[in-house]
Amino acid sequence: MTTLVTPRYRAIAAAFGFALALAYATFSAVPVAQAAEIFGSLSLGSTGTDVTTLQTYLSSDSTLYPEGLVTGYYGTLTQAAVTRFQARYGISQTGTVGPITRAKLNEIMSGGNAGGPITGGDVWAPTMTPEVVAKTSTTANISWSTSEPAVSKIYYATFWPIWPWSDVQGSSAADPIVDNQSSITLTGLTPNTLYYYMRESVDPSGNVMWTVASTFRTNP
């Protein structure tokens, strides 16, 4: 049996074949994306491409960088996100990107380690018991327990709101030991002064728990 191909169908077939060829050529011409990399050290006030690269990675994980701002400027929010990253990977929590932190970031961004958003395993933030506050006129010790090992921090100031609910950071003090007990002493306080504070605990998977604002007044 002979099949007749009319000029109309030949034109359709030719057009279809041309479209496939164009699509293939277009797809083949798309360059392969290169892994992001940070080349220099970064700290508060830094600007530029490296900061944008850093913020782009951090913004992919809301447990590290809940604000998710990619501005190219290394401000207090980026500093806090880097501190959480360092806590997650057992790096000294300086809030700056030095050689050790930069190497870890580049390793993760190149696919050498499981980084970015948590997709499995531990996804629950530690729960915290009510704190115990012991005060003097110039110090305050705040202690509590967590449901799992964690590193902890206190943010405090004589005003509210403070970071992470505001760009105004105030002061902070940390307990960098990964365990179920947190005890942080705030020093250099002013006598008979009202302080606002909030607690933070971060487990080894990077899950963060913050408390609402609390207050204490130093002794006269």
Among 51, 55, 75, which residue's Cα sits nearest to residue 66?
A: 55
- Predicted pLDDT at 56: 86
Domain assignment of residue 103, yes or no: yes
CB atoms within 10 A of CB 152: 27
Domain assignment of residue 173, yes or no: yes
- Predicted pLDDT at 75: 92
CB 187 within 8 A of CB 138: yes
- Predicted pLDDT at 167: 64
Hey, what are 99's tokens?
A: 């050689």
Residues 66 and 102 in one domain: yes
Q: Where are the beta strands (DSSP E) in the chain?
A: 132-135, 140-157, 171-186, 194-202, 208-210, 214-217
| Residues 57, 85, 156: CA angle, nearest 5 degrees | 120
Domain assignment of residue 122, yes or no: no
Whole-structure pTM value: 0.48
How many domains does the structure of the chain reveal? 2
Residuewise pLDDT in 10s, the chain (220 residues): 444 444 454 444 444 444 444 333 333 333 333 457 898 889 999 998 889 889 988 988 888 898 888 888 999 999 999 999 988 888 888 899 988 888 888 888 776 544 444 344 566 788 899 999 999 999 999 999 999 899 999 999 999 887 666 667 789 999 989 899 999 999 999 999 999 999 989 888 888 888 888 999 999 9
Residues 11 and 89 in one domain: yes
Residues 109 and 162 in one domain: no
Residues 60 and 152 in one domain: no
CATH number of the domain that residue 177 is part of = 2.60.40.10
Last residue within a domain, chosen from 117, 144, 169: 117
Full domain range(s) for residue 186:
132-217
Domain assignment of residue 16, yes or no: yes
CATH number of the domain that residue 96 is part of = 1.10.101.10
Residues 33 and 113 in one domain: yes
Last residue within a domain, chosen from 117, 146, 171: 117
Residues 147 and 43 in one domain: no
Residues 60 and 12 in one domain: yes
